[in-house]
Amino acid sequence: MKENQYDYIIVGAGSAGCVLANRLTEDSDKKVLLLETGGSDKSIFIQMPTALSIPMNTKKYAWQFETEPEPWLDNRRMHCPRGKVLGGSSSINGMVYVRGHARDFDEWHAGGADGWHYRNVLPYFRKSETWAFGGDDYRGDQGPLGVNNGNNMQNPLYSAFVRSGVDAGYFETDDYNGARQEGFGAMHMTVKNGRRWSTANAYLRPAMARPNLTVVTHALVHRVLLDGKTATGVRYEQGGKVHDVTATGEVILCAGSIGSPHLLQLSGIGNREVLEQAGIGVNHELPGVGENLQDHLEFYFQFRCKQPVSLNRRLDWWNKLKIGVRWILKKDGLGATNHFESCGFIRSKAGIEWPDLQYHFLPAAMRYDGKEAFEGDGFQLHVGHNKPKSRGFVHVQSADPKQPPSIRFNYLQQEADREGFRDCVRLTREIISQPAMDEYRGAEIQPGEQVQSDEEIDAFVRQAVESAYHPSCSCKMGTDELAVVDPETRVHGISNLRVVDSSIFPTIPNGNLNAPTIMVAERAADLIRGREPLQSADVPVVMDEQWQARQRPGNARRAVT
């Protein structure tokens, strides 16, 4: 085999690409090239969990994309960072491990992604992880991905939040990634031995010891090379020099929900009108490329804390230094957690079958850049409506691969999404007003008690919501006219080309996206290798049997009218 010739070329060393690099090189006779635009992930700010806000906001480690003005958010431009480093977005994310609800994957299957229902994907979730508390029918105990609960909710605010959810009539769930997602409980994170356990640490580093894997960093891929309707390789630039490399097997795009549709469009694959406007010749018309874009929004519900127990008193430079030194020496303490150690998943109203609202609880009141929101003690809930109806797009702007694409999510375009955020405000106030929070709950800082009517809530949300950094669904999997890949992850109409990342989700799951992205890559690896899929898992999924009639089990009517 020639030096610039490989069996598989993987574009993007992120959450999916690192998984594929590992699994495909398990076949020692297969030569694999992994291309990544970014560089090393060995920075302390990436590896130390508590420093999560730094790499996300650093140009060296993340594409700092910005949306077009969002019409339903008062024309705000929204920040959309994507990983540009080994590990991709798993090296810059919040490390929260949420698989999504079982019904999310049944929804994929029913929508045309045949075979991607829950019983088929659960074995791949199990294969990918080692759960700190041991494996069972739902959790894995032999996988590369370390998952735990950080500091096991030592701060009393975490458990008070869980109790407040129970006081309000909701379930308590001992494992939202297990039989029952709905309810309040401990939150899980991808941390192992005190370090961020990105896919670079979990999957790529072990694979880099294999002679059949070549990893090239600082490589900007220009386009996929085509011979008619067959992918033959890619063209990339490194250090000012352009290289063409050949794939005798397949080219696999793992560049994420912004990068993968953009690369397809740069290669002349996509909507004819979009390509022609950008001055790109049409090699293959595929109208769904870059469409169907979805994301989660969230805002911070902030309260003052009456007890001196919040993390706000640890945000000065001296305490941060002590936390950092302890982490360097021992890999434990407050440096070894993302601080999101309890959470909740609830349904916004009766008639919704599975949760559509999510809470991340933080025992501090701060901004995403890690700075204090106000002086004194506080706590906050990151809350959002997780099953949006609004859809956006990623559109190439130029044949120049260095020019970013046009991105617009059309956040809150649909009335159902706006209604979901009104429910967020009213249900959250009710939860935090429960007796379990009495000794901690101070004044409401944000939104503020003056925000009450639908109009006032809508105005607040338009100004306050931020992306939860979960862009997805822009190269959807299925068989309809907007589908980009088939249920085998192959690009419709192009041979030897696949997309494997969160862009192929047909709909966005109820939760953070790192875990399902890793699952997709694990399952895709078996599809690519022609292996028999793992045996399906027919396990119970615990739901509220009266979901059609009630919003929560402790209350037979909708709680907020």
Catalytic residues, by residue number, are 470
- The Cα 362–Cα 342 span in angstroms is 8
- The Cα 522–Cα 507 span in angstroms is 19
- The one-letter code for the residue type at 185 is G
- The one-letter code for the residue type at 138 is Y
Q: What's the token pair of residue 32?
A: 């694999």
Sign for the pseudo-dihedral over CA of 467, 487, 142, 99: positive
Q: Are 244 and 221 in contact (CB under 8 A)?
A: no
Q: What's the token pair of residue 482?
A: 């907007």
Evaluate the omega torsion of the peptide bond into residue 355 and state whether it is cis, within 30 degrees of 0.
no
Evaluate the omega torsion of the peptide bond into residue 447 and state whether it is cis, within 30 degrees of 0.
yes
Give CA 482 to chain center in angstroms: 22
Q: In the chain, what's the furthest Cα-to-Cα distance? A: 70
- The one-letter code for the residue type at 347 is R
Number of H helices and E strands in the chain, helices first, is 14, 24
Q: What's the token pair of residue 131?
A: 């759960």
Q: Tokens 């960093």, residue?
A: 217
Beta bridge partners, 446, equal 302
Closest CA to 233 of 242, 223, 241, 218: 223
Residue 497 vs residues 44, 224, 492: alpha-carbon distances, Å: 36, 9, 9
